[in-house]
A and B are shown apart, each in its own frame.
Chain A
Amino acid sequence: MAKAQARSDKPLVLETTCLTKLFGGLTAVNEFDLSVHKGEILSLIGPNGAGKTTVFNVVTGIYTPEKGAVIFRGIPITGKKPHQIVTSGIARTFQNIRLFPDMTCLENIMAGQHCRSRAGVITSIFRFAAQRKEEKRIQEQAEFRLRQVNLSRAHGELAKNIPYGSQRMLEIARALASEPTLVVLDEPSSGLNTRETRDLMTFLQTLIAQEDITILLIEHDMNVVMGISDWVVVMDEGRKIAEGIPEDIYQNQRVIEAYLGKDDDEEY
């Protein structure tokens, strides 16, 4: 209870109110409320098809909700375009890695800095001093992020040629390169082995400790969820069915039912 109290003292970073998203007749997200506080790692969990990724896509502007609002740092961002949302400070990764396969790792990360730079056609053609300075800053930021995920050695490799685990980290680094306030990670540990998952957890914890950043993640790996989350929100069939600190969620009857129900289906 004390933990929950301490949490609500911190300022809100992201808030969704009454968020509803329909796909034809299917209600993917149903009046979903979420509040993410500054400096925390919030995990969104739930069985497959619960609507977690849809929430992410609404928050990052890929979908427009039918109802409800997304408020980021006090400003409503509902209906804004994805690139405007990135510029305002929300960066994301995808469940199935989306890199720029035929470009180098460095160029991939530089994408994050795109929204933080201004150079236009004329400035770029004539290479004015401002453009050169900006370009240098982009490279420095990209290099910093590459080092942060231990990939500086692979800077010149094409993104499609590096191992799967590195691709995941590269995508996270690309998101971080946009200097976000909130990072939205869609199943960052999927496809990683035990060691890589452990490294990822340490990485995220160090990140939270060192930088002024908030993390919202979807996760299926319960070790990750219980290990690093400050707060857990459970979704089922588009609704929030529970939220709380990891220990409480672990014992919550409705959560167990939601998950076990699914398990039963699987064990014919």
Chain B
Amino acid sequence: MELRQQNNQRRLLDFGHPQIVLIVSAFILYPFFVSDYLIDIAFFFGIYALLGLSLNIVLGEVGLFDLGHAGFYAIGAYTTAILNTRYGVPILVLLPVSAIAAGLFAYLVCSPIIHLQGDYLLIVTLGMGEIVRLALINNPFDLTGGPNGVFGIDFPSLGTWFVIDSSIKYYFLIWIVVALSIVGLTRLQQSRIGRAWNYIREDEIAAKASGVDVRSFKLLAFILGAGLAGVAGNIYASKLMCVSPESFTFWESCLMFCIVLIGGMGSIPGVIIGAAFISLFPEIFRPFAMYRMLVFGSAMILMMMFRPGGVWPRKRGAVSFTSLLSTNGREHG
């Protein structure tokens, strides 16, 4: 019994792996040794990691092609921007509000199209993302400020004694959110919900015939994915202090798609690596900005040829069986 308890603990926190402790400490120490510029790069790495994780639920876990994810990101960012600048709602309060707004939007938009398969869904979501962007440009009800967007968004704060107003604080905000998301999503992966998502991805008809409510679970993935993108939008809006439609173009959706594909569908460490690739790559190759797309394109082609499963595909089996076998008492000695 004690052994099993220990195993569980280890799996929950993952402190059994020294490399994870190492990575976490590196992330904590990093901002204290580098310039603000490098901290900001790491902040945007965090934003992309969060966006990658959110799309990974839809694309990676369930295998639904969603090329309009920037739309949900935009809904989150604009919810924060509008409610904050107009009604003075604090940013941290708006964090869950943005998530819910984006999730609700996903529910409304996706319920009529959820039965579409593969590329059909891809086209519809692509259109959805573009419609959101165009709607924002057209300034409906004088809310979104048209092409200029919304200005003057506050710092996240709790009263006056805790204000997130520097690069380093933003860095910690985003990475704490990413860390919590990773823990939550890992647990979902190992639950009946994560498995149901994977069943749908593997064989939809077999999933149905095994008793999975395919439609609801697909919608759930969209809602959670959109909610998480909404959270990213909230943090992004308050960091930049302004939002405008040009931050939520089709290109952003493409980048998120690439993050998941590069990393490996349904693999959380893979998504983080993919996000690192997407956000750090342009910085490293800044002197060669002209050739950036060329290199990026070739990298994608090489990836598809030599590692079609992604850089770090999800390993199956090892995790889900540990507790079962520990009944013999000889595992994890």
Please report A residues at the B interface, Cβ cutoff 8 Å. Answer: 60, 62, 81-83, 86-87, 91-92, 94, 98-104, 106-107, 110-115, 117, 119-121, 124-125, 127, 131-132, 134-136, 138-139, 143, 155-158, 174-175, 178
B320 touches A62 (CB 8 A): no
Partner among B193, B202, B220 whose Cβ is within 8 Å of the Cβ of A119: B193
A100 to B321 CA separation, bound complex (whole angstroms): 17
Q: How far is the CB of B18 from chain A (nearest CB, A)?
A: 24
How far apart sit A120 and B191, CA to CA, in the bound complex (Å)? 9
Instruction: Flag whether B12 is at the interface (Cβ < 8 A).
Output: yes
B213→A156 contact, CB < 8 A? no
Contacts of B317 in A (CB 8 A): 104, 106-107, 155-158
- Bound-state CA distance A44–B278 (Å) is 57
| A110 in contact with B191 given A98-B209, A104-B316 (CB within 8 Å) | no
A-B CB contact pairs (8 Å), 11 listed: A100-B207, A103-B202, A106-B324, A111-B206, A111-B207, A111-B210, A111-B212, A114-B192, A115-B212, A125-B184, A156-B317
- CA–CA, A155 to B211, complex, Å? 21
* Inter-chain contacts of A157 with B (CB < 8 A): 317
User: In the bound complex, do residue B316 and residue A117 qualify as a contact, i.e. CB atoms below 8 Å apart?
Assistant: no
Let me know if B82 is at the binding interface, CB within 8 A.
Answer: no
**Do the beta carbons of A143 and B193 come within 8 Å of each other?**
no
Task: Tell me the B166-221 residues at the A interface (CB within 8 Å).
Answer: 184, 187-188, 191-196, 198-199, 202-203, 205-214, 220
Tell me if A111 and B199 are in contact (CB < 8 A).
yes
Q: Smallest CB–CB gap between A74 and chain B, Å?
A: 21
Within the complex, the shortest CB–CB distance from A101 to chain B, in Å, comes to: 6
> Of A134, A156, A174, which is within 8 A of B210 by CB?
A174
A100 in contact with B206 (CB, 8 Å): yes
A100 touches B193 (CB 8 A): no
Given A106-B320, A135-B192, A136-B323, the answer on whether A62 and B202 have CB atoms closer than 8 Å is no
Q: Verify B323–A125 contact, CB threshold 8 A.
A: no
Cα A62 to Cα B214 in complex, Å, equals 13
Interchain CB contact (< 8 A) of A115 among B198, B202, B211: B211
B195 near A110: Cβ-Cβ < 8 Å: yes
Q: A101-B202, A104-B317, A119-B192 are in contact. Are A124 and B212 (CB under 8 A)?
A: no
Q: Any chain A CB within 8 A of the CB of B224?
A: yes
What's the A-B contact tally at a CB cutoff of 8 Å?
Answer: 126
Q: Are B212 and A60 interface neighbours, CB within 8 A?
A: no
Most buried by B among A99, A102, A127, A136: A102
Chain A hits for B184, CB < 8 A? 125
The reply to whether A62 and B205 form a contact with Cβ atoms under 8 Å apart is yes
B318 contacts the other chain (Cβ, under 8 Å)? yes
Task: Write the chain A residue with the least CB distance to B327.
Answer: A143
Can you name the residue of chain A whose Cβ is closest to the Cβ of B316?
Answer: A104
B325 nearest in chain A by CB position:
A155
A140 to chain B, nearest CB (A): 8
Known: A102-B202, A114-B212, A174-B210. A139 touches B195 (CB 8 A): no
* Known contacts A86-B211, A87-B211, A98-B203; A104/B320 CB under 8 A: yes
Q: Determine how close the nearest CB of chain B comes to the CB of A167; give it in whole angstroms.
A: 12
Beyond A83-B211, A112-B210, A139-B323, 7 additional pairs, beta carbon < 8 A: A62-B205, A101-B202, A104-B316, A111-B196, A121-B193, A121-B224, A124-B191
Closest A residue, CB atoms, query B220: A121
Min CB distance A177 to B, Å, is: 8
Q: Which of A103, A120, A124, A125 contacts B316 (CB 8 A)?
A: A103
Residue contact B192 to A100, C-beta cutoff 8 Å:
no
Q: Which of B12, B203, B323 has the most CB of A within 10 A?
A: B203
- In angstroms, how far is the closest chain A Cβ from the Cβ of B7? 12
Which residue on B lies nearest to A118, using beta carbons? Answer: B192
Please tell me if the beta carbons of A82 and B208 are within 8 angstroms of each other in the complex.
Answer: yes
Cβ of B210 and Cβ of A86 under 8 Å apart?
yes
> Which residue from A83, A104, A124, A175 sits with its C-beta under 8 Å from B187?
A124
- Cα separation A219 to B207 with both chains bound (whole Å): 24
A83 near B193 with CB under 8 A, answer no
Which residues of A are found within 8 Å of B203, using beta-carbon distances? Answer: 98-101
Q: With A and B bound together, what is the CA distance between A131 and B8 in angstroms?
A: 13
In the assembled complex, the CB of B207 is this many whole angstroms from the nearest CB of chain A, namely: 7
- Give the distance in Å from the alpha carbon of A253 to the alpha carbon of B208 in the complex: 40
By a CB distance below 8 angstroms, the chain A residues around B316 are 102-104, 107, 158
Q: A175 contacts which chain B residues (CB < 8 A)? A: 210
Q: Which B residues are CB-close (under 8 A) to A139? A: 323-324
A115–B207 CA distance with the chains assembled, in angstroms: 11
Q: Which residues of B contact A120 (CB under 8 A)?
A: 193
What distance in Å separates the Cβ of B100 from its nearest Cβ neighbour in chain A?
A: 14
Give the distance in Å from the alpha carbon of A135 to the alpha carbon of B224 in the complex.
22
When distances are taken between beta carbons in the complex, the residues of chain A under 8 Å from B224 are 121
Are the C-beta atoms of B210 and A94 separated by less than 8 Å?
no
Closest residue on chain A to residue B11 by CB atoms: A127
Q: Report chain A residues within 8 Å CB of B196.
A: 111, 114
A158 nearest in chain B by CB position: B316
